[in-house]
Amino acid sequence: MNIENAKKLLKEKDISITENRLEILMRLADHHHFHSISEIVNESNGKLNKKSVYNAIKLFICKGLAEAYTLGGVPKYALTDNLEGKSEIHVVSQDGVIKHLSIDQRIFDDIKKSVGEDEVSSISISVLLK
């Protein structure tokens, strides 16, 4: 996904994040293995905050965006609620490396409300990738 498509989606969903922050998020997500939103915030050297990261993640898991950003039917990202009760976003980056990002339960519950309870374990998303 390029920055122009991302900006268009942001506008459609009425989610506020600066272009600069969105660009940083997309770049960081593509080149690093993160275990938490805090790690992304720290890696950005103060250019991102938790709210901007959360808003970007929430944006791309809205209904209907899943199919549009998969390649050859293989999801770039999958949101799961794992057996230990931790919520994770599993990521397959452009180089094929599997990464994951654990998210706070409050955020996960909010996401479930956004996309629908039954769809959470199977929804495919393309968060933060170019």
Please report, rounded to a whole number, the percentage of residues in the chain having pLDDT higher than 70.
17
pLDDT at 122 over 70: no
**Domain spans, the chain:** 3-125
Amino acid 130: pLDDT: 28
Beta strand extents in the chain (DSSP E only): 77-81, 87-92, 98-103, 124-125
Q: What is the reported pTM?
A: 0.41
What would the pLDDT profile of 57-77 be if each residue is shown by its tens digit?
Answer: 655 544 333 333 343 444 444
Q: Which residues contact 103 (CB under 8 A, 6 or more apart)?
A: 36, 37, 57, 87, 88, 89, 111
Write down the mean pLDDT value for the chain: 56
Cβ atoms of residues 19 and 25 within 8 Å: no
Amino acid 75: pLDDT: 42
pLDDT at 36 over 70: no
Tell which wins on pLDDT, 52 or 30. Answer: 52
